[in-house]
Structure 1
Amino acid sequence: MSRHARIESTFESEEAARQVAATLRPDNTPEMETAVDGTTVVTAVERETTGGLGATVDDYVVNLQVATQLTTTDGETSTTTDNNE
């Protein structure tokens, strides 16, 4: 029996959601799928064990935080954590 998780993150615009999803996809394993639904990034994860699912979700959340920091509200990517520049 597999374990499943679905993670949804909503952004200010569809463009921001697309940028975040594009940043996340290269780190996905074959058991992960990331899609954009309007302003929401949806990632589904499937693992055989609860521990494996927890570790994958933890890694994903860290990657999501970094991808979000790199995406500014004007649609440009940034290497700073201050999106007001």
Structure 2
Amino acid sequence: MSADSDAPRRATVRTEHADADVIAASVRPDNTESMRTRVDGDAVVTTIERDDTGGLRATTDDYVVNVTVAEEVVQLADRHKTPNP
């Protein structure tokens, strides 16, 4: 086996949102030690690093579901905001 086969696998997911800070704050509590989330302008950028491809795939899939749900909740909340008097 080559040394490369032992190297960690890494994926970076970048998604753009009107409320990137809110989305990032929503997904961070579910991050594991192998995940880092930051805001870059209107984007949430999360880097995931795992020891194997299967683990990377599973973690990335879970993260994408979490981002999708967070975005849907933010959109729903925005539709139901009441104007300040």
TM-score (norm 2): 0.81
Answer yes or no: is 1:31 the counterpart of 2:37.
Answer: no
Bigger fraction of residues in helix: 2
Root mean square deviation of aligned Cα: 1.3
Deviation at residue 84 of structure 1 after TM alignment = 3.8
Instruction: Give the AA of the match of 1:65.
Output: T
Deviation at residue 17 of structure 1 after TM alignment = 0.1
Aligned match for 2:17, one of 11, 14, 18: 11
Deviation at residue 3 of structure 1 after TM alignment = 0.1
In 2, the alpha carbon distance for the partners of 1:84 and 1:25 equals 24
Structure 1: 5+ residue runs without aligned partners? none
Count residues with an aligned counterpart: 74
Q: Secondary structure at the match of 2:62?
A: helix
